[in-house]
Structure 1
Amino acid sequence: MVAFLSDNKSYLTDLLDNYSGKKFIIKIGTESVNNINIARLCDVTKYVNERGGRTIIVTSGAKAAGETSLIKHGIDIEKEASEEIIRKQLCCAVGQPSLISKYSVMLEEFGYVVSQYLLPSNLSYLPALKFNLKFKNIIPVLNFNDPLENLELENVKLLSDNDRLAATVGAVINCDLLILLTSVGGLFEHYNEKNQTLVNMIHYMDAKLLVTDSKTNNGTGGMASKIEACEIFKKDVLITSPENLLDVLKFNSDKYTILRYKK
């Protein structure tokens, strides 16, 4: 039986009580990466930084951006490359520059400089990332380095999922909160049914049961990997949508799910 947790508003208030010195790692999925949502992330970054916190952005979307660019230039990648991994790596290599450019242009309007980290599977850039966080006007934007990794290796497959990558990086550099953004906006009971209900707070082990019991497996929001991210991060995880995140941080919205790590 799934056990839901109450008093989520009080818990959220405690969770976001003081930003000073805290590190927030925010992951945004491919389906949510667009100019409007990147602008929303800029607003969130400003809000957190002005209160003494630091934000780290983990972004998906390079593959989708690359596919769009290749189509625009008349390149049929499906025809030219039979191996799926090779197609993915080329699309990521083509799409990453335009993806990071969007972040760079928009964050610059807020007075920030973007530092790009394309992380390898051994996460060797993390000392530089830690140093980066000393500077409030340099915003790290992370992605996995798909073009240069062997995507068939199991440990590489795990980190090439950006929910897991954000959780792993967040755990290693001791972030205070992992925020996972999704178009779905949270974890639902009876997902995609007439009586679907947003779950505001639940222990991650109980959330596993909820996802498993769902006929749709909550696949639209990739909830299984988000629950696994909580297990990797070993701290609480906040799931919401890009459009609601700032309001959630300001306690003006209850459209979120908190995955509790500890009982």
Structure 2
Amino acid sequence: MLRYSEAERLRETLQALEIDGSFIVDQRLNALVVRATAEAMATVEALLQTVDVANPSPTESTDLLRDELDGLPGGLEIVVKFAELSGVTVAHDKDSGIMMLRGTEKDISKVHAFIDQLKTVYDADEPALQSSSYVLRTLWLCNAPDAFRDGESPSEHGGAPDEALQRSIEKLAELGFPNMKVVMQLVGRCDVNERRARCQLDGSLTHPQGEHLLECEAILEIGNENAIRGEIALDASIAGTSANSSVRVSINMVPQKYYVLSAAPIGGYQSAFVVQLIGGM
């Protein structure tokens, strides 16, 4: 028997997964009685083990992703990290490629929008876009334990960084910026037109010290053999204070690689800003 805030929704979800078994909703207990093979039940438990199915917030809902993830080679882990940073709880079954999300409709819609951006870049049916469109990812890292939105710890939603980002974090520690964690990320698509692309991003982060604001503008120049030159302008600030940081850099960029643009104290703690190009391969 599986307890769930919406037993009927859970039944529909499991049937959508085409799991072989019988599913009976007990309306009195708001529970779902499942009869299935041990293998099928293991699949169900693997998907639900990280999702709060006992007493979830009434403002949250559950979403199932399957077909939406087709055609994203190398992009699934990026989706997981983006969802976690957006405050969405993720249960991902790597064998089936199915992902379950739990969060507010607003946060889940952000994940769908991000997937749409990645599909444009990675769509195998449109190979021409792989060299004419990029996704720009801008990360704000800091070492303040309470810097995540609403005073939550970054580790609750940030997840573990991938190996490449972890190496950048370790390098920052060597330079005197220890314990850096991702607290905000901006993601946007850059379409190349006549070997030139432009992208503007902005976002905010709720914090007791004041709303953190981040703006990023990037101009990409695609040279011979797809060499990429990036002109990046980044502005970070804390609303209502004089705390701010501005960065203007010109760098050669390689897709998938992380670039640390700046590291400086803001608002009493250390911050760093990192960018990554996704796609264009």
TM-score (norm 1): 0.26
- Determine which structure has greater relative contact order: mean sequence separation of CA pairs < 8 Å that are 6+ residues apart, divided by chain length: 1
Structure in which a larger fraction of residues adopt helix: 1
TM-score (norm 2): 0.25
Look at both structures and tell me which one has the larger radius of gyration over its CA atoms: 2
Structure in which a larger fraction of residues adopt strand: 2
